[in-house]
Structure 1
Amino acid sequence: MSVEDCLPADLKGPATTVTRIAAGMSGAGVYRVEAAGQAFVLKVAGEAENDADWRHALHVQRLAADAGLAPRIVHVDEARRAVVTAFVADRSFVAFLRNPSTHEAALTQLGRTVRRIHALPLPADARRRDPREMLAQVWSGALAGFALPGFVGDAVQRVLAEEPPPSDRALVLGHNDLNPTNLIYDGESILILDWATAAPMDAYYDLAVLSVFLRLDEGTSLRLLSAYEGTPCTGLPRGFLYHRRLAAALAGAFQLYLARQMKHAGATGAETLDATPSLGEFYQRMMTGALKLGTADGQWAFGLAMLKESLAL
């Protein structure tokens, strides 16, 4: 099967170009398609992704696209497990947020967008994803035997030993991976990519992930929550604070797992909490090109910075 076989008939032809642009964690192939004077994105599921999970993700993606929360779906080839969506030019949500003249508008729009995600109906067969259980599995399985600095274990064990605060809210359909690479800002709307891990979740988890990855301070996090709730919040809830520590620890542990998969040698013994760059310093090094995600050293540094962040929260 060629990649072109996954396209609908009206997008096939001698003038069509298909360029690989990414590979998903599950082995999915992502391609930019130029056809009929327009641009599209083709995503073909990897062999490791089972049919039930793929169909669940497609169902949620359709819900999101119909609600204007994800790029428009143009074509689905269920036999080949391929989805074609409209290409949306990204004007950078992070730039929108960091611009002082648009910062508050961006924050308000982000909170309201997450609220709209959580208003999507829960699929009847949706299985809950518990990030705390996922952290425990990564720690005891994927990272077992890997040489790690002592503070990594401190961060993970601190979260796993903490009793989650009780919640009186019903679970929502959470995206579960709202890191900035999954946000597209087209100049008017925020659209969300990659719905593969969407599942019933505590609402605070998506908000906590955003707070961690975007490095929102206490006041900015409070305004994000206020935009989400549609009413001013006077303090950060215990549930949000807990999920923020959990989100940072899980993201960090997963990045270290990726580093291990990329054959990183692990800790040398020189890594300490004080010597480890903060998350902000890591981002600065990424911007200068000193570190790059997708490499063993980049994933390792990102993971350590995230776990240091978890300890600081």
Structure 2
Amino acid sequence: MQKHTHDLVFTADEVHKRFVTWDDGEADREWRCLSAIHEHARGVAPRPLRREMWGSRPVVVTERLPGDPLGDRPLSAEQTVALGRALSRLYAIPVDAIAAAAITERRYGPSTLPQLLSQWPDEPYDLSQCRERAEVAIGVDTARAWLEDSPALPEPRLVGLGISDLNPANILWDGESCRLVDFEDGGLTDPSYDLADHVEHIAGRLSGVFDADRLADAVGLSPEDRARMQAYRPLWAIFWLVMLLPGNGAFRRNPPGTTEVQARHLMRLLR
């Protein structure tokens, strides 16, 4: 479900993002998102410089930002506030400006992910590769039942621009500010939905990078939107459980036992 889509080439002042696959419009989406951010929330993401071709492959060239990617440790209070500020500025970009830039709903957006997830757990998986096959099977059955019951998910409010992939590696920290990179899946979004995605992202959740409550505070979510964020979290926990099933890329990339950890996490969320 996820695939390697690009290679990065760095110079002293530039980053060249060379796309390996672009069938889903990744290069176009990256360019449009970065252009809108540069116009309406300058400094949150790298400035887009130009588009090129490398052979038959599209390339998006941006400025090279200062800072280092966040690692696998919990954010400090200062980093959480800075990240919240960056996300708030994204969400504040006017919808009219997003539409004018021909930016559509983010990949795996709130209008498409529930339907996609309802199909994925029914695919055949060989759970014998899991350490605790029975535990994973219970998690998959629970996910399937939750999806089949058609839970009353919040009505999406597509009011801002989102990054979609908030892997901590896509957040640059320079000691004062957080800046965001990798917008190939970004687009129009619901902030509550996006934050549920971010705190459930396996790359940050397993190592406790994001504190869900503190990040919601830093973004400035209202009590109603915080409840909406919480309601969306099981959807993303199921997404990652499916990603971590044998045969999918996340299963190969993560240590043995990660699928079981995710199954237990989903069960806790649904209690």
For the superposition of Structure 1 and Structure 2, which TM-score range results when normalised by the shorter chain? 0.7 to 0.9
Q: Could you say if the C-alpha distance between residues 300 and 73 of structure 1 is closer, same or farther in structure 2, counting changes exceeding 3 Å?
A: farther
Partner of 2:82: 109
Match of 1:62 in 2: 35
Q: Distance in 2 between matches of 1:137 and 1:222?
A: 31
Contact kept, 8 Å, 1:175 with 1:198, in 2: the verdict is yes
Counterpart of 1:28 in structure 2 is 5
> How far did 1:126 drift?
4.0
Match of 1:251 among 230, 240, 244: 240
Q: Which has the larger radius of gyration?
A: 1
Offset of residue 260 of structure 1: 1.0
RMSD (Å) for aligned C-alpha atoms: 3.3
1:172–1:164 CA distance, 2 compared to 1 (3 A): farther
Provide the rounded CA distance (Å) in 1 between the counterparts of 2:63 and 2:188. 27
Query: How far apart, CA to CA, are the structure 2 residues paired with 1:200 and 1:109?
Result: 22
Identity, % of aligned pairs? 21
Cα distance in 1 for residues equivalent to 2:119 and 2:162: 20
- Per-residue CA shift, 1:75-118, capped at 9, x if unaligned? 321674101223335434357854xxxx2222222222211111
Q: Quickly say closer, same or farther: Cα 1:156–1:200, change in 2 above 3 A.
A: farther
Distance 1:153 1:96, change over 3 A: closer
- Corresponding residue for residue 228 of structure 2: 239
The alpha-carbon distance between structure 1 residues 196 and 304, as it changes in their structure 2 partners (threshold 3 A), is: farther
Residues 1-313 of structure 1: pairs in structure 2 closer than 5 A: 26-34=3-11, 38-46=12-20, 48-50=21-23, 52-66=25-39, 67-77=42-52, 80-94=57-71, 97-98=74-75, 103-120=76-93, 121-124=97-100, 125-128=102-105, 129=109, 130-140=112-122, 144-148=123-127, 149-160=136-147, 161-167=149-155, 169-213=157-201, 214-215=204-205, 220-229=211-220, 237-256=226-245, 259-261=246-248, 296=252, 298=254, 301-313=257-269
**Contact preservation (8 Å) 1:252, 1:302:** no
Deviations, residues 48-98 of structure 1 (Å, cap 9, x unaligned): 422744323321122234422212333321674101223335434357854
8 A Cα contact 1:178 1:206, kept in partner: no
Matched pairs, number: 242
Which gives a bigger RCO, structure 1 or 2 (Cα 8 Å, sep 6+)?
Answer: 2
Letter of the 1:245 partner, please give it.
P
Aligned-partner residue type, residue 254 of structure 1: M
User: Does the CA contact (< 8 Å) of 1:174 and 1:203 recur in 2?
Assistant: yes
CA distance in structure 2 between the partners assigned to 1:307 and 1:89 by the alignment: 38
Give the TM-score taking structure 1 as reference length. 0.64
Q: Output the CA distance in 2 between the equivalents of 1:166 and 1:27.
A: 31
Structure 2 CA distance for partners of 1:159 and 1:191, relative to 1, 3 Å: farther
Structure 1 unaligned blocks of 5 or more: 1-24, 263-292
User: Does the Cα contact within 8 Å between 2:27 and 2:60 map onto a contact in 1?
Assistant: no
Question: What are the Cα deviations for residues 160-185 of structure 1, in whole angstroms up to 9, with x where unaligned?
Answer: 13423434844432222222122121
- CA–CA distance in structure 2, aligned partners of residues 59 and 175 of structure 1: 12
Q: Is the 8 A contact 1:177 1:206 kept in 2?
A: no
Unaligned segments of structure 2, at least 5 residues: 128-135
Match of 1:14 in 2: none
Cα distance in 1 between the residues matched to 2:187 and 2:116: 13
